[in-house]
Amino acid sequence: MAAKLEKPVQELCEEIREDGSDTRTEESLGHIEEEDITFFDVDLLVEHGIALDDIKQLKKSGINTVKGIQMCTRKKLSTLKGFSEEKVNKIKDACGKICPVSTAGCFLTGLEVCEQRKQLFTLTTGSKNIDKIIGGGVESMSITEVFGEARTGKTQLAHTLCVTAQLPTDTGYTGGKVMYIDTERTFRPDRIKPIADRFELDSNAVLDNILYARAYNSEHQYELLNSVSDKFHEEPGMFKLLIIDSIMALFRVDFTGSAEMTERQSKLGLMLSKLQKISEEYNVAVFLTNQITTDLQYSLINDLDIKPVGGNILAHSSTTRIALRKAKGNVRIARLFDSPKLEEQEVEFVIRNGGVSDPEKTE
């Protein structure tokens, strides 16, 4: 059975209301509007001779769209209860009839890819400096990972993004809801209020647009992703950001020693693959925080004192990787560590009561 998501954060934090009133209404969504998102529901398979029980099995496993089926291998689908090789082939064929453009083996021109990428959006980190080095902000349909030692600003970035994801922009982005999976119990609703105040948003409405879940082990963390897919499917176009803080914490607890490393990396790979599919299927930004370790050989090669945990599996799954480190006082350094399109560079940012921002300019 799929793990269940918690209630919206606002329902968990009534104590932050100053007047004790309940202002939760449909208007609390404010500027957030449902966008016209195009995808094909798995229910359409009925029209192509697929049984309702089989469709229920697909949904139970977190597959709600035709594209979601096309992203799964036949081997993976064959693990579902009652799915024979013949049935899987029939389902795959039906998907090809419903959505032929996305079937395997279909090529697009570079110009068509450019047109598709116009659907992408970026979320500001709250720091213009960081936004600049990562190409405008945290991008949708991709995974952005930040890593660093404790107190370098990883969770502060996550909290700031919870608010900025709800900001409409002059580029046509309308703002949206946030899904937050917490593996280390670091999410603080009262931290959201001053950040919302900074951006002149109602903190109660902002919290009401954050759906929070606490993951207790690596298996639970993976199971929650099925619930994430279900929620994204139920409210198409409403969710814009999925945060996992942190991606590796529970894996490091559940799998210890070199004997369990292969199993750990295998399960990590499955989770990251699912995250990639979710980001593309629903056009959301995925933001991961990650822990670090020390490795002398790695430091010599990469000119970095720290090494992100997760190995090559995580390194190849993250589209953009940002290394964080401390400077003086509340100043931090963000270094673009890996990107498919941008050169490596670093900038300063600060952590204030209103979240992540830029240092004040001095004459």
Select from 312, 332, 330 the least CA-distant residue to 322: 332
Q: Over the stretch 122-139, which tens digit does the pLDDT of each residue have?
A: 999 999 999 999 999 999
Identify the top-confidence range among 53-62, 103-112, 168-177, 196-205: 196-205
Kind of pairing, strands 331-338 and 346-352? antiparallel
Distance CA 58, CA 67 (A): 12
The confidence score (pLDDT) of residue 172 equals: 85
For residue 211, the Cα-to-chain-centroid distance in whole angstroms is 13
Q: Over the stretch 86-116, which tens digit does the pLDDT of each residue have?
A: 999 999 998 888 876 544 446 788 898 888 8
Mention every residue, 6+ apart, whose C-beta is less than 8 A from residue 216.
250
End-to-end CA distance of the chain: 60
Distance CA 182, CA 212 (A): 7
* pLDDT classification of 21: cutoffs 50, 70, 90: very low
| pLDDT average, residue stretch 267-292 | 95
What is each CA distance from 310 to 201, 233, 250, 325, 340, in whole angstroms? 36, 29, 12, 19, 19
Q: Over the stretch 73-89, which tens digit does the pLDDT of each residue have?
A: 899 899 999 999 999 99
